[in-house]
Chain A
Amino acid sequence: MRVSVLLFPGSNCDRDAIHAFEAVLGAEVNGIWHKETDLKNPDLVFIPGGFSFGDYLRSGAIARFSPIMEQVQAYVARGGYVMGVCNGFQILCEMQLLPGALLTNKPIKFLCQDVFVRVEPNQSPMLQKLTPGQVLRIPIAHGMGQYFADEATLDRLEGEGQVLMRYCSAEGSLDEASNPNGSLRSIAGICNADGRVFGMMPHPERHVEAELGSEDGLILLDSVLGILDRVN
């Protein structure tokens, strides 16, 4: 079980991710500097949160062209699994590995708080240990997390089961008050057409130990690593 965590100048959730995958979930983890060109044969590529390249121009716009990203494109083309959280999600959208874009939060504030997300019915192999309707409490920390795509794309994502999770209340209902950043259709996480590329704004790697507030993030990451049963 090998996870490659990508490191960009400005990444700041990489240590949390490495800790979650290595110390808590027992995977072999390699941190891969963005200028490297060897992904080290991973079962999962994880793109962590932070502010790669200072979020200059647009979040994720510059990171997309780092040398390692050519390898990530090729890895995805071979059927590899990629998960991006927060800035990682923004990078995956900029790379067009995921549709849509992340805009400035509707309340124009940087939001750092626990939110609830509801797992949606989906076909992604990465969420198969979770049940549709299941509610997880996971923190967000972002200024640009408002998910945007045109109506046709949103309809397609919903129709194809590519919406993996939505912001919701503690009970799992959808309403404006539970959608912190104004994401269209309350979307918090999506996958690509074959379910192998997964992006989400909340940070599961920050909630992997009870001492740190919750283990709901661990439930999610454990499901993602469930793909490894398949590939090994």
Chain B
Amino acid sequence: MSKVQVIIRLKNGVLDPQGKTAQHALQALGFQEAAQVRIGKFIELELDGANPDQVNTRVREMCEKLLANPVIEDFEILGG
């Protein structure tokens, strides 16, 4: 069993109203240093019976096919 984490971020230049709202809330709470907040996704996968050499390639395929939308998102695979 291998565990792989994927981080999905909105691309630079894509407006993130959710991050903006959280940033404003942080500033309202006194965290003036919160200059920018961007909110993405964290996905944790457990892969059963996967060939360790192919884990990265397979997870990359999963991201390209389903988990991320290349029009608006970048992904990063951690571990695996």
Residues of A within 8 A of B (CB): 57-58, 61, 65, 93-94, 99-101, 103-108, 146, 148-150, 182
Are B69 and A94 in contact, with the CB atoms below 8 A?
Answer: yes
Chain A contact residues: over half helix, strand or loop, or mixed?
A: loop
Mark out the residues of chain B between 14 and 36 whose CB falls within 8 Å of any chain A CB in the assembled complex. 14-18, 20-21
Most B Cβ at <10 Å: residue of A94, A99, A100, A104: A104
| Cβ contacts under 8 Å, B71 to chain A | 93, 99-101, 148-150
| Cβ contacts under 8 Å, B17 to chain A | 103-108, 146, 182
| Cβ contacts under 8 Å, B18 to chain A | 104, 108
Are B66 and A148 in contact, with the CB atoms below 8 A?
Answer: no
What residue in chain B is nearest A184 (Cβ atoms)?
B15
| B36-80 interface code vs A (CB 8 A; 1 in, 0 out) | 000000000000000000000000000000110101100000000
| Cβ contacts under 8 Å, A57 to chain B | 66-67
| Cβ contacts under 8 Å, B21 to chain A | 108
| Cβ contacts under 8 Å, A93 to chain B | 71
Residues of B within 8 A of A (CB): 13-18, 20-21, 66-67, 69, 71-72
Expressed in whole angstroms, the minimum distance between the Cβ of B45 and any Cβ of chain A is: 13
Expressed in whole angstroms, the minimum distance between the Cβ of B77 and any Cβ of chain A is: 17
Compute how far the CA of A57 lies from the CA of B65 in the bound complex, rounded to whole angstroms.
13
Cβ-closest 3 pairs across A and B: A108-B17, A101-B71, A101-B72
Expressed in whole angstroms, the minimum distance between the Cβ of B27 and any Cβ of chain A is: 16
Starting from the known contacts A104-B16, A150-B13, 7 additional A-B residue pairs (CB-CB under 8 Å) come to A58-B69, A65-B66, A106-B15, A108-B21, A148-B71, A182-B15, A182-B17
Are B66 and A103 in contact, with the CB atoms below 8 A?
Answer: no
Expressed in whole angstroms, the minimum distance between the Cβ of A169 and any Cβ of chain B is: 22
Are A146 and B66 in contact, with the CB atoms below 8 A?
Answer: no
Are A61 and B69 in contact, with the CB atoms below 8 A?
Answer: yes
Expressed in whole angstroms, the minimum distance between the Cβ of A147 and any Cβ of chain B is: 11
Compute how far the CA of A58 lies from the CA of B13 in the bound complex, rounded to whole angstroms.
19
Query: Can you give 9 contacting A-B residue pairs, CB < 8 Å?
Result: A58-B69, A93-B71, A104-B16, A104-B17, A106-B15, A148-B14, A148-B15, A150-B71, A182-B17
